């Protein structure tokens, strides 16, 4: 039965990778999970590699968004200007 249990775990992890926004709750490693059968080692390694790639993508997005927020904080006025913004050249 270890292969069946691990197949279920890997199925769940692959589902979460395919639809990361669909997971309602954090994934928790089952406490009673037996050692990984050798027959599933390649599949488990593929899941780990896909998770690493997803982490790299998320980290790059986090850095880009942080940079955008920093730029916005520098360029967008946060309160009333201390002087007029427009110059009346007609009146």
What pLDDT is attached to residue 20? 79
Q: Is the pLDDT of residue 44 over 90?
A: yes
User: What are the residue boundaries of the structural domains of the chain, listed by start?
Assistant: 2-75
DSSP helix, strand, coil percent of the chain (3-state; round to 5): 65, 0, 35
CA-nearest of 32, 29, 31, 26 to 10 is: 29
- Percent of the chain clearing pLDDT 70 (strictly above): 86
- 1 compared with 4, residue with greater pLDDT: 4
CA-nearest of 42, 47, 44, 24 to 33 is: 44
Location of structure tokens 């488990």: 44
């Amino acid at each position: 039965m270890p292969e069946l249990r691990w197949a279920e775990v890997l199925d769940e992890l692959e589902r979460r990778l395919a639809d990361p926004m669909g997971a309602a709750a954090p994934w928790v490693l089952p406490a009673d999970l037996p050692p990984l059968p050798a027959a599933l080692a390649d599949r488990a390694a593929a899941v780990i590699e896909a998770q690493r790639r997803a982490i790299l993508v998320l980290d790059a997005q986090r850095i880009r968004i942080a940079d955008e927020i920093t730029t916005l904080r520098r360029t967008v006025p946060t309160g009333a200007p201390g002087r007029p913004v427009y110059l009346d050249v007609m009146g």
